[in-house]
Structure 1
Amino acid sequence: MIQTGTQPGHLIDIDQLSKREMEELFQQADAWKNGHGMGTNVYAGRFVANLFFEPSTRTRLSFEVAERKLGLEILQLDEMTSSVAKGESFYDTLRTLASLGVHVAVVRHSGGGLLEKMARHSLGLALINAGEGSGGHPTQALLDCYTLRHHFGQLSGLRVAIVGDILHSRVARSNVLALNAFGARPVLSGPASMRDPELESIAPYLPFEEAIGEADAVMMLRVQLERHQETLFSSAAAYRKHYGLTLERLERMRSHAVILHPGPFNRGVEIDGELVEHPRSKIFEQKANGVWIRMAALQRALEGGL
């Protein structure tokens, strides 16, 4: 395998991007959102492969909508229908895609560090991380920051509370890195069994009520039961009682504070159903913004960096 160093168009994790590069992605997302070039199929005849080796709805469909808006030809692969199931290495799968003329591979899988390893090889295509284990989810962090910046006008100085299953959350990790880069003040909260000491070295932990009481934005995270090897709380009702965002708790938040959630959300567990579509919720705005951000990320991959 030929070693070459990271290709400029790869997006493996958020910390590979400077603040300026993230701002450029926001500007390009704004351009797509405002209709510049829309409907022109600017990348017609070029190919993208979506390799989703974990279940996904929002991220997979968001990428697919973004790809179709750009005019890309889309190839869909999953682990059971690709040659990975026959023992083919991930590297050989990527090299095969490149040899067929694929320009970008959008990848979600459960392992950690594999994409970074692949990016050090001469693949012939660009990689975009669509969620890798509990390690990173860069386009989610970008769309979250983009949503907050549109609402507040800037990110610097914002207190953002990220609450829930921090230990298993790639969203939390990528958001902390992105928010810190913009001068925001992320804080973490959640059950003791779901804390992440490593992440707390760059974002402080606060008790739940204190965290949401001081926040400008509260991001609730799903409890990722599929990543747990043990039972961490007795019931959904018990989790809601101690760590769920309820209407009563919303009323104790700052009057201007907004609600975020990367999804999928468990109504009545980490967030009450009536808050998902509350006027102070940005949850569905996050989903809409994901298309524009992912269009910008795909453009960056195709052009080798904006």
Structure 2
Amino acid sequence: MTMTTTGTRSLLGLKQLDADEILSILDRAAYWEQHVEKVHDKLKGKFAANMFFENSTRTRFSFEVAEKRLGAEVINFSAAASSVQKGESIYDTVRTLESMGIDVGIIRLKPIGVLAELAERIKVPLINAGDGNNEHPTQALLDLYTMRKQFGDIRGLNVAIVGDILHSRVARSNLYALRKLGAKVSFCAPTNMVAPELDAPYISIDEALKADVIMMLRVQLERHEKGMITSAEQYREQYGLTVERARQIASHSIIMHPAPVNRNVEIDDELVEHPQSRIFPQMENGVPVRMAVIERAFG
């Protein structure tokens, strides 16, 4: 379990959670998805702070919708409009919001290791909304939830994750969780985007297309300037899910992507809303999953 000063209520990553805990979150997400009422009073009178020290659109909006559906009061914090620009430390910022009476903090930041240190010093539970190249636990949870809705069970699934594994917190969280739930995970990546510390086999793009779940990772196009990829066109040609490649996918298989999607780079435009694509359902599933995670933070 994730051990912090607030017990097991923080969610720092999935590497430390056991299978039963992961499944309990997915079960609770299913409970919230079945509720037709949009707003509940479960967390009435509670304050949730979204503390994003790194840019985000989908994740922050998803958390905000989840918080408001649970009836919480929401405080949105952006580093771009804060004293962090003036040199205030991340700890001081979080500590300031804690002193003002927040009950839970959702936090995204770039430096690896800072979140674990914060959790030791901050008394309110913290939820990881993405920390550097380490983990993105709620993204992986909504991915698992999407797979379970599609296949009924995750055990025995063959999942291929394609793209920049080296820099992907999504790949890491999914690997940790999928293995615990009995899935087989393979990676497919350019040689300079391999993460050697992660214990998973690397396969070709043609092999990846045989999987039950083909998960395409977002290409960070800014890596052009660093020479990691020569061009978006070449990446698409070698590792992209093109219309031609999609013809090899089995009829039962699904296409996933954590978004935002670079259309016609990691996945062709026509495939984003293909009948076998679950990209937008993934986003939809993010709300009940994050409701479950936030509720868990309150014990």
Q: Same fold (TM over 0.5)?
A: yes
Indicate if the aligned counterparts of 1:168 and 1:227 stay in contact, CA closer than 8 A: no
Superposed CA deviations along residues 138-194 of structure 1, whole A, max 9, x for unmatched, are 000000011001100000110000000111100000000010010100100011111
Q: Distance in 1 between matches of 2:195 and 2:288?
A: 31
Q: Secondary structure at the match of 2:10?
A: coil
Q: Distance in 2 between matches of 1:237 and 1:246?
A: 11
Quick one: which amino acid aligns to residue 57 of structure 1? Answer: T
Instruction: Please name the residue that 1:264 is paired with.
Output: 260
Q: Is 1:42 equivalent to 2:42 in the alignment? A: yes
Q: Distance in 2 between matches of 1:225 and 1:14?
A: 27
Quick one: which amino acid aligns to residue 210 of structure 1? Answer: E
Q: Is 1:62 equivalent to 2:58 in the alignment? A: no
Q: Distance in 1 between matches of 2:182 and 2:282?
A: 21
Instruction: Please name the residue that 1:294 is paired with.
Output: 290
Instruction: Please name the residue that 2:204 is paired with.
Output: 207
TM-score calculated relative to the size of structure 1: 0.92
- 1:53 is displaced (CA, Å) by 1.4
Q: Distance in 2 between matches of 1:302 and 1:269?
A: 41
Quick one: which amino acid aligns to residue 239 of structure 1? Answer: Y
Superposed CA deviations along residues 41-91 of structure 1, whole A, max 9, x for unmatched, are 221211011111111111011001101101111111111323323333322
Instruction: Please name the residue that 2:197 is paired with.
Output: 198
Instruction: Please name the residue that 2:239 is paired with.
Output: 243
Q: Distance in 1 between matches of 2:98 and 2:56?
A: 24
Q: Distance in 2 between matches of 1:182 and 1:104?
A: 28
Quick one: which amino acid aligns to residue 184 of structure 1? Answer: A
Q: Secondary structure at the match of 1:265?
A: coil
- 1:36 is displaced (CA, Å) by 7.3
Q: Is 1:146 equivalent to 2:142 in the alignment? A: no
| Pair 1:281–1:161, CA change in 2 (3 A) | same
**1:4-153 residue pairs with structure 2 within 5 A?**
5=5, 7-35=7-35, 38-121=38-121, 123-153=122-152
Query: In percent, how many aligned pairs have the same letter?
Result: 51
- 1:235 is displaced (CA, Å) by 1.7
Q: Secondary structure at the match of 1:15?
A: coil
Aligned length: 296
Instruction: Please name the residue that 1:232 is paired with.
Output: 228
Indicate if the aligned counterparts of 1:62 and 1:291 stay in contact, CA closer than 8 A: yes
Superposed CA deviations along residues 208-233 of structure 1, whole A, max 9, x for unmatched, are 111222x0010001112446761222
- 1:246 is displaced (CA, Å) by 1.1
Quick one: which amino acid aligns to residue 201 of structure 2? Answer: P
Q: Distance in 2 between matches of 1:114 and 1:227?
A: 24
| Pair 1:73–1:6, CA change in 2 (3 A) | closer
Q: Distance in 2 between matches of 1:299 and 1:20?
A: 17
Quick one: which amino acid aligns to residue 189 of structure 2? Answer: G
| Pair 1:51–1:126, CA change in 2 (3 A) | same
Q: Secondary structure at the match of 1:30?
A: helix
Quick one: which amino acid aligns to residue 180 of structure 2? Answer: A
RMSD of aligned alpha carbons: 1.6
Indicate if the aligned counterparts of 2:6 and 2:123 stay in contact, CA closer than 8 A: no
Q: Which ranges of 4 or more aligned residues in structure 1 deviate by more than 4 Å?
A: 226-229
| Unaligned 5+ runs, structure 2 | none
Instruction: Please name the residue that 1:189 is paired with.
Output: 188
Q: Secondary structure at the match of 1:154?
A: coil
| Pair 1:229–1:167, CA change in 2 (3 A) | farther
Q: Distance in 1 between matches of 2:6 and 2:221?
A: 34
Q: Secondary structure at the match of 1:131?
A: strand
Q: Is 1:281 equivalent to 2:277 in the alignment? A: yes
Which of 204, 219, 222 is residue 223 of structure 1 equivalent to?
219
